């Protein structure tokens, strides 16, 4: 069977929240230190300590939102240790990640300076596991208040006059695991207590984010919704793609056979069901609460603030640094997952790939003063036009690959009178002709660009441009639309103008 895609261009749907294209940066391995932040005195070109090469590359992606400081690190992080003169900042051992010294030279001011340089929204994940209510409340005050208080004066003394107005506040991370091994009943109460004292200051209204489930832990979602659902704006979902499905034997990032390749896609595709199942619970419990209390339904959003491939670390690297290479297989996972998020844009309001630089499925890898863009970076580039665009219904008719995943994954949106279709041919070895029809638009012009290659292709410091975006010219007009030939293992951005 051939592949065909039918786009309904006449009925624009919900807006795809640009925050779906968000990132995550933790104090883990070489993500922050070395990857993003090198300090003002570094010989590596930087602005206020942030690597110029990395910041410039990220600016091209128009990063909308950045989550920090963790991850598991968040529940060990004490924000007061990371403000004030560099020489007097506390040192600690990062017990979660590699047992290395954390000198706290990257703290609140540095993170917000990074967000300023990137032009993105900050998303701060605060400490419930080993922190106090007062500590969290004062961090929010330090970030957002203009009142006459000692905490605010401390911020002024540290060189920041204006409040930053941080909106996105995560209250605990993986509280069912590294964040305190809590039961959902207990975390629900902790969430209510901590969030009560996180105040809104001035015009800034906090968007309170609760720690949601891991993968298919539906019970966590149900209990949390029932016991604290009225107190948060969103809950999170963490789901990683471990190709083998086994934490103890994840498999290498660059060495895999055909069977493992398709198994990887199959595992990544679980995101569709996870999002659907958790949102169904959120909706049902909300309706029940509203009915019982005679109130309006309070909308709770879903944020997938950790996702991506998790492989074995590269040989010879610190196992606690989670440094892995990134191939076209990872690009396929990114393409498939972002299409799922787009199609669920009515419920998924943010997603944060783990992680931005040098950790897990990164968009950038660095080595000393050198830097490369991974295939996953290019997927984010190809999908950029979906940000804040209107979702279009996009039906894909295709056979399944070994397993249940369809050969072609796609999503479509409309922005400024132009349709963007992102389509990935997930077949490892076969190109495919895709017949595309668009309702409601008299198609005048179609252009496309894509990445493609062998599933094992990657960019290395010896060959940084093995995978780059190239124009895709195999486009033919047909009586009903047009046909695009997608090479094997490829991701394309197809722009359609009427
Ligand atoms: O992203 C790496 C780790 O994975 C995060 O610190 C944690 O939240 C998750 O388990």
CB distance 374 to ligand 1 below 6 Å: no
d(CA 211, CA 199): 19
- pLDDT, one tens digit per residue, over 57-69 is 999 999 999 999 9
Strand ranges across the sheet with 390-397: 470-471, 445-452, 490-497, 418-425, 408-415, 390-397, 3-8, 432-439, 481-486, 475-477
Whether the CB-CB separation of 333 and 339 falls below 8 Å is answered with: no
Q: How many CB atoms lie within 10 A of CB 341?
A: 26
CB distance 354 to ligand 1 below 6 Å: yes
The pLDDT value given to residue 295 = 80
Asked if 306 is an active-site residue, the reply is yes
- Percentage of residues of the chain with pLDDT beyond 90: 96
Terminal alpha carbon distance of the chain: 29
From the alpha carbon of 73, which atom of ligand 1 is closest? 6
| pLDDT interval class at 470 (50, 70, 90) | very high
**Best probe residue, ligand 1, of 22, 24, 26 (max atoms within 8 Å of C-beta):** 26
- pLDDT, one tens digit per residue, over 150-198 is 999 999 999 999 999 999 999 999 999 999 999 999 999 999 999 999 9
Whether the CB-CB separation of 345 and 275 falls below 8 Å is answered with: no
Name which of 382, 421, 477 is nearest 8 in CA terms: 421
Q: What are phi and psi of 227, to 5 degrees?
A: -100, -20
| pLDDT interval class at 1 (50, 70, 90) | low
Whether the CB-CB separation of 428 and 415 falls below 8 Å is answered with: no
Query: What is the token pair recorded at 251?
Result: 């498999």
Residue 446 has pLDDT above 80, yes or no: yes
Taking the CA atoms of 289, 291, 296 and 301 in sequence, report the sign of the dihedral they define: positive
The pLDDT value given to residue 142 = 98
Query: What is the token pair recorded at 15?
Result: 């807006």
| pLDDT interval class at 107 (50, 70, 90) | very high
- pLDDT, one tens digit per residue, over 190-209 is 999 999 999 999 999 999 99
Catalytic entry in 174, 266, 286, 493 = 174
Averaged pLDDT score across all residues of the chain: 97
- pLDDT, one tens digit per residue, over 3-57 is 999 999 999 999 999 999 999 999 999 999 999 999 999 999 999 999 999 999 9
Going by alpha carbons, the residue nearest to atom 6 of ligand 1 is 71
The pLDDT value given to residue 27 = 98
Range of lowest pLDDT (61-65, 290-294, 427-431, 458-462): 290-294
Mapping DSSP to helix (H, G, I), strand (E, B) and coil, where does residue 28 land? coil
Residue 118 has pLDDT above 90, yes or no: yes
Strand 481-486 and strand 432-439: the pairing is antiparallel
| pLDDT interval class at 293 (50, 70, 90) | confident
Name which of 54, 22, 24, 49 is nearest 37 in CA terms: 49
From the alpha carbon of 96, which atom of ligand 1 is closest? 6
Going by alpha carbons, the residue nearest to atom 8 of ligand 1 is 71
Going by alpha carbons, the residue nearest to atom 3 of ligand 1 is 71
The pLDDT value given to residue 467 = 98
Mean pLDDT within 111-140? 98
Asked if 102 is an active-site residue, the reply is no
- pLDDT, one tens digit per residue, over 324-381 is 999 999 999 999 999 999 999 999 999 999 999 999 999 999 999 999 999 999 999 9
Whether the CB-CB separation of 356 and 24 falls below 8 Å is answered with: yes
């Amino acid at each position: 069977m051939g592949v065909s895609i039918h786009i309904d261009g006449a009925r624009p749907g919900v807006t795809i929240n640009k925050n779906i294209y968000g990132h995550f940066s933790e104090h883990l391995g070489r993500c922050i230190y070395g990857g993003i932040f090198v300090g003002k005195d570094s010989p590596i070109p930087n602005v206020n300590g942030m690597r110029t090469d990395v910041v410039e590359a990220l600016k091209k992606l128009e990063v909308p939102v950045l989550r920090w400081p963790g991850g598991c690190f968040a529940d060990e992080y004490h924000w007061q240790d990371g403000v004030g003169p560099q020489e007097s900042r506390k040192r600690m051992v990062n017990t979660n990640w590699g047992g290395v010294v954390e000198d706290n030279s990257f703290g609140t001011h540095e993170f917000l300076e990074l967000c300023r340089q990137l032009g993105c929204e900050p998303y701060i994940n605060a400490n419930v596991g080993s922190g106090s209510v007062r500590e969290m409340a004062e961090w929010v005050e330090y970030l957002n208040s203009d009142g006459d208080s000692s905490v605010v004066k401390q911020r002024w003394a540290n060189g920041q006059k204006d409040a930053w107005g941080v909106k996105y506040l995560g209250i605990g991370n993986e509280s069912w695991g590294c964040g305190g091994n809590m039961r959902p009943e207990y975390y629900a109460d902790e969430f209510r207590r901590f969030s009560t004292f996180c105040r809104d200051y001035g015009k800034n209204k906090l968007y309170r984010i609760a720690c949601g489930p891991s993968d298919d832990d539906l019970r966590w979602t149900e209990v949390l919704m029932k016991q604290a659902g009225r107190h948060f704006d969103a809950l999170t979902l963490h789901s990683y793609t471990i190709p083998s499905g086994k934490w103890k034997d994840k498999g290498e990032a660059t060495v895999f056979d055909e069977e493992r390749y398709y198994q990887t896609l199959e595992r990544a595709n679980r995101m569709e069901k996870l999002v659907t199942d958790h949102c169904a619970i959120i909706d049902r419990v909300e309706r029940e609460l509203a009915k019982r209390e005679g109130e309006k339904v309070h909308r709770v959003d879903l944020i997938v603030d950790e996702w991506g491939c998790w492989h074995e670390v590269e040989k010879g690297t610190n196992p606690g640094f989670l440094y892995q290479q990134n191939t076209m297989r990872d690009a396929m996972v990114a393409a498939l997952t972002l299409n799922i998020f787009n199609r669920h844009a009515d419920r998924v309001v943010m997603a944060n790939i783990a992680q931005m630089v040098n950790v897990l499925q990164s968009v950038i890898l660095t080595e000393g003063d050198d830097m490369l863009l991974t295939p996953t970076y290019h997927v984010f580039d190809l999908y950029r036009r979906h940000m804040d665009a209107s979702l279009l219904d996009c039906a894909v008719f295709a056979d399944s690959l070994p397993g249940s995943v369809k050969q072609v994954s796609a999503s479509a949106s409309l922005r400024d009178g132009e349709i963007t279709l992102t389509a990935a041919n997930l077949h490892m070895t076969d190109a495919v002709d895709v017949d595309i029809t668009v309702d409601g638009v008299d198609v005048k012009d179609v252009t496309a660009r894509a990445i493609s290659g062998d599933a094992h292709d990657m960019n290395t410091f010896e060959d940084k441009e093995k995978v780059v975006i190239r124009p895709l010219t195999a486009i033919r007009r047909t009586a009903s639309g047009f046909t695009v030939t997608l090479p094997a293992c490829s991701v394309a951005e197809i722009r359609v103008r009427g």
